[in-house]
Amino acid sequence: MKTLVIGTGGREHALARALSLDPGVTEVHVAPGNPGVAAVAALHRVDPLDGEAVADLAERLGADLVVVGPEAPLVAGVADAVRTRGIACFGPSREAARLEGSKAFAKEVMAAAGVPTARAFVCESPAETEAALDELGAPYVVKDDGLAAGKGVVVTDDRDAALAHAAACGRVVVEEFLDGPEVSLFALTDGSTVRPLQPAQDFKRIHDGDQGANTGGMGAYTPLPWAPEDLVEQVLRDVLQPTVDEMARRGTPFAGLLYAGLALTSGGVRVVEFNARFGDPETQPLLALLDSPLGTLLRAAASGTLAEVDPPRWKPGAAVGVVMASAGYPASSSSGDVITGVEAAESRPGVHVIHAGTAERDGDLVTSGGRVLAVVGLGDDVAAARDAAYAGVAAIDFPGAQHRTDIAAGV
């Protein structure tokens, strides 16, 4: 099977790496990719948002399967453009990707499917926002309705800050504050069969102790030894399957990766958000533990035959990913800072490095984005995997590098 992965980030590097380990995959191509991906795949230039260009590239390469990594191309209909050419594509249609592309749409689908989530109001004017804030009370949660790369949500006790965020966004969803630990549970689906992956946890804030601004994610680990034994079963029954069934009932089946961001509240599991693609950085540790052929699973999901292949299996042990970000992140980012020590990190037992915002300049590896690398450590348990990951982080340096020191601590 010849595969083509679309995207540039850590998620795409992790996908390409896992595809390259599948004996059924003969070729891995990535566009546009990054210098880390070049070690496991052939790189090509393409505008990921240009569906016709992506489909042309897939045809030229004779790809049997295209995997669209990020949300923006999915929301732009890139998967539809590929499928129109008769090529299997892992990733939902433009219509189905609205589950991530519009928070208001996701709320509507959850209501119709009876999926537990925060009480919410869609607001289009300051007066509506004020009424919703006062109805739900503090802490206030205000979400931009559209895609915002993990930065569209403000959680605050400050009513004026909540109103200011709403005014800056236009259409917002104001929702009830959900307390309790967060879990990321991903599922592969072909539009009817749903196969959950192992639960993971992401660390969204920039600083230790969950302080500071929201980011795309500063680290993640899997599995979650503390999670209720029946969590996956319960989320499959109450969240994932009803959502997939509701999308099919509407005539816009969701096939691809359904990402449920969950809060385990005292009142039970609630959906915080849906995403329409693999999470980043959760995918980096998750795929490091996948013991099934990824290409086979993704192709089955893309072609309506997921029920016919073995459900995903997992290696024993745990994986922890620690993100190293560039100076200024998440408000800004710094490019061109020289990165050293990646090879030294990877020479340590159980460590590999996934690239995100990296580039090559005059033979040096340099930063080129906010989240630069994810250092993944494997071990017999979360503590051992965490030690491995941080030993890797200690070997890597670049000016202004930032990382959290508490990823998967105390688990």
Q: Which of 141, 185, 188, 276 binds ligand AMP (CB under 6 A)?
A: 141
Q: Which residues pair with residue 31 across a beta bridge?
A: 6
**376 within 8 A of 190, measured Cβ to Cβ:** no
**CA nearest neighbour of 187 among 245, 227, 229:** 245
Tokens at residue 246, please?
């509701």
Angstrom distances, CA of residue 315 to CA of 22, 289, 341, 360, 367: 15, 5, 28, 34, 32
Angstrom distances, CA of residue 130 to CA of 167, 178, 331: 11, 19, 27
C-alpha dihedral sign at 35, 38, 43, 48: negative
Nearer to ligand GLY, 217 or 370 (CB): 217
Q: Is 22 in the site for ligand GLY (CB under 6 A)?
A: no
Tokens at residue 168, please?
């800056």
Query: To the nearest whole angstrom, how small is the minimum distance from the Cβ of residue 141 to ligand AMP?
Result: 4
List the single partner that 217 binds among ligand AMP, ligand GLY, none, CB under 5 to 8 Å by kind: ligand GLY
Q: Is 58 in the site for ligand AMP (CB under 6 A)?
A: no
Span from 47-55, 88-96, 147-155, 337-345 in contact with ligand AMP (CB under 6 A): 147-155
Nearer to ligand AMP, 141 or 294 (CB): 141
Q: Is 330 in the site for ligand GLY (CB under 6 A)?
A: no
Q: How many CA atoms lie within 13 A of 408 on its CB side?
A: 31
Distance CA 13, CA 350 (A): 17
SS3 at position 197: coil
List the single partner that 272 binds among ligand AMP, ligand GLY, none, CB under 5 to 8 Å by kind: ligand AMP
**CA nearest neighbour of 292 among 302, 277, 281, 306:** 306
Q: Is 201 in the site for ligand AMP (CB under 6 A)?
A: no
Query: To the nearest whole angstrom, how small is the minimum distance from the Cβ of residue 46 to ligand GLY?
Result: 22
For residue 126, cis peptide bond before it (omega within 30 degrees of 0):
no
List the single partner that 177 binds among ligand AMP, ligand GLY, none, CB under 5 to 8 Å by kind: ligand AMP
Query: To the nearest whole angstrom, how small is the minimum distance from the Cβ of residue 273 to ligand GLY?
Result: 8
| Residue found under tokens 């007066």 | 127
Q: Is 261 in the site for ligand AMP (CB under 6 A)?
A: yes
Span from 70-78, 176-184, 187-195, 328-336 in contact with ligand AMP (CB under 6 A): 176-184
Query: To the nearest whole angstrom, how small is the minimum distance from the Cβ of residue 5 to ligand GLY?
Result: 16
Q: How far is CA 380 from the centre of its chain?
A: 25
Q: Which of 64, 100, 273, 337 binds ligand AMP (CB under 6 A)?
A: 273
Query: To the nearest whole angstrom, how small is the minimum distance from the Cβ of residue 146 to ligand AMP?
Result: 11
Q: Which residues pair with residue 44 across a beta bridge?
A: none
List the single partner that 314 binds among ligand GLY, ligand AMP, none, CB under 5 to 8 Å by kind: none
Amino acid at position 227, single letter: A
Contacts of 315 (CB under 8 A, 6+ apart): 289, 290, 291
Q: Which of 202, 224, 312, 324 binds ligand GLY (CB under 6 A)?
A: 202
Query: To the nearest whole angstrom, how small is the minimum distance from the Cβ of residue 366 to ligand GLY?
Result: 24
Residues numbered 114 to 133 that lie near ligand AMP (CB under 6 A) are 118
Q: Is 150 in the site for ligand GLY (CB under 6 A)?
A: yes
Across 208-317, the runs of DSSP E, i.e. the strands, are 211-214, 219-222, 256-265, 268-275
Nearer to ligand GLY, 281 or 379 (CB): 281
Q: Interface with ligand GLY by CB under 6 A: which residues?
A: 150, 202, 217, 275, 279-280, 282
Residues near ligand AMP, by CB under 6 A: 118, 141, 143, 150, 153, 155, 175-178, 182, 204, 214, 261, 272-273
